[in-house]
Amino acid sequence: MTSRQILRNACVIANRGKPYPSHLMANLRVQSSDGFDVTILEQYSKPYAMFECKRVGVEEGTKKGPQTIEKAKQGAYVARTVSSLFKVRLPSGELQGLIYRSGDEIYTKPYAELVAEVVNSDDPELLRDFILTVGVVSNHGNWFTSDNHNKELKVLAQSYDWLLFLTDEGLAEFITELLLRPKPLLKPARKAFLASYAAEKKKNAFTKVQMNYEADQVLQSYFADNANRIEKWFNIITPKSGSMRKLRSQISQLRDKDWEALHSL
């Protein structure tokens, strides 16, 4: 944390090499008169899941951001190349999943079935290079809506294992509670936001990289206390039968696997 009470992303305090490379990451939880409360977690070098947010702005006087298709291309490329699991569209229109075992052996099943099997499995042949990809789309007027997909949104829906869409209602509710009719809890966050985006601002203290300490504390509490309500801000575009409960379950299953042992086989 800086002298201006600005938090930055977690810092790496140690690295581990073989047999399975990882990093020890430190996060500041609470600052008090007694000192600092810091959490330390181990982060494997090879992820088992990836979240990516695609935000696109619209220039004044235009109806759609010209960079929307570029964002879609970037997201689709990452989602299609990071994992050993591939999507193949059959002539019938059905989506087939394909994954390589050792050597050139190909294992294939209907896509949804294969994802579920890999997530439930302890087979290192299936899990070794598997990464569950989750895309989050926001900024409206660019991606249309969750019920009315333009070509860019269709590209993303066919690329990620999961694609979440932040609804207008959800975004408006958060803006109302943060800025327009701020909840008492969120006043420090509102102050940091307005100071960061005012004409006379000195330094930004409300970004994904750095955040005002008080704003971070109240936002963490807000999201934790309202988790069930906030989940309803999102529509699930992919998979069709998906739910937040199912996504949480898959992430938990992957988290609880013995990755060190699986990668050492």
Kindly give the confidence (pLDDT) of every residue in the chain, 265 residues in length, as a single tens digit, with 9 standing for 90 and above.
Answer: 677 788 877 888 898 887 778 889 888 888 877 888 888 988 888 889 999 887 665 555 556 555 667 777 788 888 888 999 988 888 888 889 999 887 778 899 999 999 999 999 999 989 988 999 999 987 656 656 556 667 777 888 888 999 998 888 898 999 999 999 999 999 999 999 998 887 777 778 888 888 999 999 999 999 999 999 999 999 998 898 889 999 999 999 999 998 888 877 6
**Whole-angstrom Cα distance, residue 127 to residue 83?**
10
**Judging by DSSP bridges, how do beta strands 85-89 and 106-110 pair with one another?**
unpaired
Q: Is there a contact between 47 and 23 (Cβ–Cβ < 8 Å)? A: no
3-state secondary structure of 239: coil
3-state secondary structure of 161: coil
pLDDT of residue 59: 57
Q: At residue 104, what are phi and psi to the nearest 5 degrees?
A: -110, 20
pTM given for the model: 0.84
**Whole-angstrom Cα distance, residue 236 to residue 240?**
7
pLDDT of residue 142: 60
pLDDT of residue 46: 84
Q: Which residues of 14-48 are buried (b: 16+ CB within 10 A; e: fewer)?
A: eeeeeeeebbebeebeebeeeeeeeeeeeeeeeeb
pLDDT of residue 62: 59
Q: What are the E-state strand segments in the chain?
A: 6-8, 11-16, 22-32, 35-44, 49-54, 85-89, 95-100, 106-110, 132-137, 162-166, 210-212, 234-238
pLDDT of residue 214: 92
Using CA atoms, how far residue 149 sits from 66, 119, 239, in Å, is 17, 28, 14
pLDDT of residue 245: 93
